Chains A and B, each alone.
Chain A
């Protein structure tokens, strides 16, 4: 099988820090791989190596069949890159930014203009196209940045935390753009700290932590790997919360979590549900909400790594410029 992105044993050190410690990746053509992990997990380093901006210390990687070190120029003609920072020239207008890229890619002046207009329209920036981009809002800059990475109609697109710092509306808009690209057959590698984002967009997910892949699979597979489902019970009367907690603890043998007026516990045997229901019924406690659901990616991350996805210190920002 031909993979659009393939990496084996990628390693990169910065002094004593192992930013990447032997990463394997394989993304089939037309799929979206979500790379999930906290700051400093090595996501950006991996993207920079795959996008030919950084040489790996060990291992090798190929994009579209071309080696990212030996055949960097060819790789560059296949890829588009949108980084964590909206990499647009603030002094230029939206149109000029895109025309510049088109010209750099060898398009004629007329073709560059046409392509710029097309992309500006697609990203709802037509009205702002003639303005210097320093007057753009954060969301507009990100959209222009994404447009810039699409000028050359890339086969493989790298999106490095494309929605970090965006408001929820802009985020949803960007998601719909990414879905559109996938419909066009573009292969996408997307890094994110947001579990919901990976859940929403990714065909496959790999979880990075401290420069290693610690889990991989589809969203459903990952949720199943913890072997856990989540039981949630909310009593109709708030006063019954402790009583419910006692019952749940008794049935599953673990102390449940009490937050948001709900009793939450991971369970391994779905049969406990009926036991809990019976016991509550005997006690005359009415539940306003009682559900057994798959664990969220957040809970999966916690289960795999022992820490939550979003509370790591920020180390990766620095390595961007290292």
Chain B
């Protein structure tokens, strides 16, 4: 062990982190979430294998039964799988945040002279990057299997943009869960029991016309249905404006409810 001199720290000046420092701290913490993938390929697999597995299972197991041919079903289901995957993935924000809290990393970050928001915004930026990656992967793999974007590149980018916007709105709920849950396993449980029924009772994976009446009524209300319809419209054609509008309204409503709750939970910790 060698001696490390302890000199006086840099002059204590600012009472808060400036905007430029805040940005740099946010990017450092985003880097921290992304560089993990390098050491934990499983996380990447988690992120990529699961949607691909769903894609394969749904297309080849249920596809024929639902749409008559796997090719037709793939066209129908891929947009829905993109939605399902994006919604599921918003909860990784909760899991990551909660892990930081239970492991003490969150406290370490809070004891540093950095912007209070940096740990949160850095994580959300990283998770958004992962969302884009998962989207590209699913679309790419779908294309290998025979999926065709029937609209245009603009439609494809529009679909990505809409999913990212909705995911960001949802991440407020994710932050709240992450701050409140007692451990990461609980977060996973909440995620599963919330997202599974929500995505399955929508038109994301099967046409809702075959549902019994009460379920079809619910499916028409279910925001996932509107989001799936919008993404479908953007990728393979059909109505776009109305389902997109409704999806954005839901997203706005979601953010309006959960953002204040999440911020309050965050403040009480910061």
Contact = CB atoms under 8 A, between A and B. Distances in A.
B14 A73 contact: yes
A116 B262 CA distance: 35
* Interface residue range, chain B: 35 or more
Contact of B8 (A71, A88, A93, A155): A155
A48 B104 CA distance: 12
**Interface residues of A toward B: which range?**
35 or more
Contact of B39 (A83, A132, A152, A186): A132
Contacts of B144: none
Interface string B90-116: 000000000001111101111111100
Interface string B18-58: 00010011001101100110011001000000000000000
Contact of A124 (B1, B17, B40, B105): B1
Interface in A159-206: 177, 180-181, 184-186
A181 B107 CA distance: 23
B103 A53 contact: no
Nearest to B3: A180
A48 B270 CA distance: 12
A121 interface: yes
Given A91-B40, A104-B28, A155-B9, A86 B104 contact: yes
B134 to A, nearest CB: 19
Question: Which of B3, B9, B17, B109 has the most chain A CB atoms closer than 10 A to its own CB?
Answer: B9
B36 A91 contact: yes
Contacts of A257: none
A53 B107 contact: yes
Interface in A132-154: 132, 148-150, 152-154
Interface in A61-92: 64, 66, 71, 73-74, 76-81, 83-92
A154 B107 contact: no
Interface in A84-123: 84-93, 96, 100-101, 103-106, 118-119, 121-123
A91 B126 CA distance: 15
A84 B103 CA distance: 10
Contacts of A52: 110-111
Contacts of A186: 6
Contacts of B103: 85, 87-90
B21 A92 contact: no
Given A92-B36, A104-B112, A77 B9 contact: yes
Contacts of B118: 104
Pick the most buried of B8, B39, B110: most chain A CB atoms within 10 A of its CB. B39
A105 B113 contact: yes
A123 B29 contact: no
A87 B5 CA distance: 24
Contact of B112 (A76, A88, A153): A76
5 contacts: A73-B113, A77-B12, A77-B113, A92-B36, A155-B8
Interface of B: 1-10, 12, 14-17, 21, 24-25, 28-29, 31-32, 35-36, 39-40, 43, 101-105, 107-114, 118, 182
